[in-house]
Structure 1
Amino acid sequence: MTQPRSRVDLYAAIRRDARSGMSNRALQRKHGVGFRTVTAALESAWPKERKQPPKRGSRLDAYRVVIDDWLRSDLDAPRKQRHTAKRIFDRLLDEHDGAGVVSYWMVREYVATRRREIRVEVGREPANAFIPQEHLPGREAEVDFGDVAIRLRGELVTCALFSLRLSYSGKAVHRVSASAGQEAFFEGHVHAFNVLGGVPTGKIRYDNLKAAVASVIGSRPFRPSRSRPAAGSPRAWTGTPRSRSG
């Protein structure tokens, strides 16, 4: 018989069969467990938590206080006078009889982690922090517009991929275009809004705006200006050179 997925289910099955009159030995054979497991299941429906083995000490434990003192003294020392992992290792060998006890790689790994921890403890460096993002339904979206390689008629072709993703639900709409022109950029928006059935009420964050910003040719900037769109097409943008006076 296949054993239940969890120990809780296993204990429940053993206790259920025991109530039907099965002996301890029969329970062992049916569920493929030993005497101790059956006894424990009959004593309690909840398995006992497994004892965590004690954490094994490191040969570096005897030197941690010394290393920490050296690293703290480096906080106010000139940059070129601070302890490197190699310097700490050499001092342990020369001043604290560390030969044959600690290795360079052991010291290097500890120093790489502990140096930053000490800087955080004294306020010299900010601690790692994670700020969860919260989004309201239908309020925000993210847009990415970049290259994508597809195989067209047996040949690998580079096209433009427009992606709009709602921040709350993660629902995304994609559209592939032959070029990365502004028309494709605007058509991607129209297509996404039609598929989603509306427009985000808050804001849209853009990751790649090469097709949406004004072009700069040499030292002459181009000012984006509206051109009259064709009937039924998204509004297009063209660049017209800014005249220089004086």
Structure 2
Amino acid sequence: MIDVALLSVIRRSHIREGQSIRSIARKTGLSRITVRKYLNNRNLDPSYPARKSPSKLDDYEKTLTCWLHREVKKHRKQRKSVKQLYQDLVQLGYTGSYDRVAAFARQWRQEQHEAKSTAAKRVYVPLTFAPGEAFQFDWGEDFATINGRKCCLQVAYFKLSNSRAFFLRAYYKQTHEMLFDAHNHAFRVFGGVPER
């Protein structure tokens, strides 16, 4: 979207001065398609740059943001109200109005809510791990022939996430004792216990 000044240059050059689309495109640095689009669209509302008016709250925004983060972590009945936060700001020297503080708190809460709702869409599993950071464990079932008899074995699978080193240990049953024994042997072979 182009700004108001450039739009007025395009329209003035074409309507008042009678310049061609090609010469306007050359003068403004825009493509001919863009110039034609803005000349043909009569209902086009130009965009104004976003204005940031100075506020008395500007010097206290970081403090108020920290307080809001702190209050969100508390139980609902133990949280301070926005009016109490405003009174705390006044004690620090804030001379602005309560309405500005309330509007800031509302906007901050809305941004936090939007961030939470979109966070689930941006979740990813890291594919790189530090040495000793994580390991994976699972039980599996496999068949083996022992003394000429085919039997079903429960196999404990361990894999380090960084080096992909693995450890297997087979048992006849899948019990808590076997689970603890498998972990004990795996950590002994790996030379330590991963963080997670």
More strand by share: 1
Highest RCO, 1 vs 2 (Cα 8 Å, sep ≥ 6): 2
Shorter-chain TM range is 0.3 to 0.5
